[in-house]
Amino acid sequence: MNYRDLFDLSGKHALVVGAGSGIGRASAAGLADFGAQVICADVHAETAEAAAAEVEGRGGKARAVKIDITQEAQVRDLIGGLPALDVLVSTPSINVRKPLLDITVEEFQRVVDLNLKGSFLVMREAGKRMAAQGKGSLVFFSSIRSQVVEPGQGVYAATKAGTLQMIRALAAELGPQGVRANAVAPGVVETPLTAQIKNQPEWYRAYAEKGALGRWAQPSEMVGAVVYLASDAASFVTGSLLYVDGGWTAVDGRFTPPL
């Protein structure tokens, strides 16, 4: 066996949800670089198209689709209508950074609808598709917040823990059908979701110093985990939470953000 071939995704079809920006966009490019044909899906059509154009500019194969994963029919129609699906990567999330006692029902519902309900809908439809064909890899982005929390992150953390537990359930339920399901737990990554923190130097610096590496991650640094979990290199990996957090969860310490 040539172990390099374990990471080869040639002939694989991947759907990346949230491909318009940040980790999703980097993941789409990375999967394509390893040979996968990629569908770049995002709630914003223009960013999905830009992501697909970037993949093709790198010599890969991609097309763009617009999708709102909180809408059951859209998720069902997209995934059910794909000619093939070997890899599913899902990254979308939103956050409302407020003390739990100050969060309104509307804010709670908005975070839960995307982070948890949306993830569930994508898992369910992709899981059905992959179970029927007897193969596939599901890669969902959870967070270090599924394990550790701080003030202002209660609802977000709950949705990320919920995403992880659904992935674990899928791993148990779909393992006999040859489907693998795993989650990635990033630490602090420079994406549109974390722009609020980057705009406050003290907060940004404190987060950088919390991890063992003393800095934030770039979206590109999540790609290795995605390609690994999507590929045959992870053929015996399922139900796992893969930390890509720069040592955040290994290092003790605390910073109370300005809420």
Read off the pLDDT of residues 184-207 as tens digits, 9 standing for 90 and up.
999 999 988 788 888 899 989 989
List the catalytic residue out of 156, 207, 228, 243: 156
83 in a domain, yes or no?
yes
For 45-74, the pLDDT digits (tens) are: 999 999 999 999 999 999 999 999 999 999
Q: In degrees, to the nearest 5, what angle opens at C-alpha 229 toward C-alphas 88 and 76?
A: 10
- Residue 29: is its pLDDT beyond 70? yes
**Predicted pLDDT of residue 253:** 67
- Residue 256: is its pLDDT beyond 70? no
143 in a domain, yes or no?
yes
User: Domain holding 95: CATH number?
Assistant: 3.40.50.720
249 in a domain, yes or no?
no
Please name the residue that has the structure tokens 């598709």.
129
- Residue 138: is its pLDDT beyond 80? yes
For 213-228, the pLDDT digits (tens) are: 999 999 999 999 999 9
250 in a domain, yes or no?
no
- Residue 257: is its pLDDT beyond 90? no
Q: How many domains is the chain built from?
A: 1
118 in a domain, yes or no?
yes
**Domain span including residue 180:** 3-243
Residue 36: which of 20, 14, 52, 57 has the closest Cα? 14
- pTM recorded for the entire structure: 0.95
258 in a domain, yes or no?
no
77 in a domain, yes or no?
yes
Q: In degrees, to the nearest 5, what angle opens at C-alpha 219 toward C-alphas 79 and 210?
A: 125
158 in a domain, yes or no?
yes
For 155-181, the pLDDT digits (tens) are: 999 999 999 999 999 999 999 999 999
Q: Which amino acid is at 187?
A: G
CA distance linking residue 159 with residue 166, whole number of Å: 10
- Residue 255: is its pLDDT beyond 70? no
156 annotated active-site: yes
